[in-house]
Amino acid sequence: MTRLSGKVALITGGGTGIGRACALQFSREGARVAVAGRRREPLAAVAAEIQAAGGQALSASCDVAKSDQVERTIREVVAQFGALHVLVNNAGILHVGSVEETSEAEWDRLMDVDLKGVFLVSRAALPELRKSGRGAIVNIGSVLGLVGMKKRAAYAAAKGGVTMLTKAMALDHAQEGIRVNCICPAIVETDLVQTILSQASDREAAVRLRTAQIPLGRMGKPEDVAALAVFLASEESSWLTGAAIALDGGLTAY
């Protein structure tokens, strides 16, 4: 028996990086998986990969910052699979800059996706999670929702909001059997991170600098986050809610 057998999971930002790794690992653990995001092609590719391996998957085009698209996606998932047991709020964007280097439009868009998106998708999913009896929400936050970093003003503010929203929702819905937890990764080897590192004047030096900050001596991999997400979605974590877990190679142990 696999750990997520019989469960239906929706993963936002499911076409690449951490979302893709979660989708593949959830399917391997027996879940039927819906991946949602703004770009159709990578979503379809993930769904096809799951189906080719014998799993069941659905891809849905959705901007998590738009409530009508979010509500439509929840309806599509339930229509396809009959229920919703797990939500992974993974969709997010990054802005590099201090407060003075961040425009109002950049601030608003980042807050819309990284924080408001978690609110909108969770709100739309809660009625279906409630019906499942033992629903789980896994928010993909950031270590920057726990500690600060230069040139990440808007991003840290949004992820700090995700951390506290996680705790508030956990308290609001514990009596309904819905658990809400947050994974707070440090730097993870995704396409987005690789793009940012490639913009440095000396990419290899930038990689060495970031890696040197991590006691375990390496960046995270999407699969590291997916493994913890599976645990938080499964009955193995049935007495865990309201947690913001630093998945950071020891970075915040200093």
Question: Among all residues, which ones are annotated catalytic?
Answer: 155
- Name residue, tokens 């970031």: 210
User: For the range 28-31, what are the long-range contacts, defined as Cβ-Cβ under 8 Å and sequence gap of 24 or more?
Assistant: 28/2, 28/53, 28/55, 29/2, 29/3, 29/4, 29/5, 29/230, 29/234, 30/1, 30/2, 30/3, 30/4, 30/5, 30/6, 31/4, 31/5, 31/7, 31/85, 31/86, 31/233
DSSP 8-state assignment for residue 248: S
CA distance 127 to 101: 40
Residue 241, helix vs strand vs coil: coil
Of 113, 109, 81, the residue nearest 97 (C-alpha):
109
CA distance 164 to 61: 28
CA distance 60 to 70: 10
Residue 17: is it exposed, middle or buried by C-beta count within 10 angstroms (0-12/13-18/19+)? buried
Q: Using alpha carbons only, how large is the chain's radius of gyration in Å?
A: 17
In order of 58, 75, 203, 220, 245, the CA distances from 135 in angstroms are 19, 17, 42, 27, 19
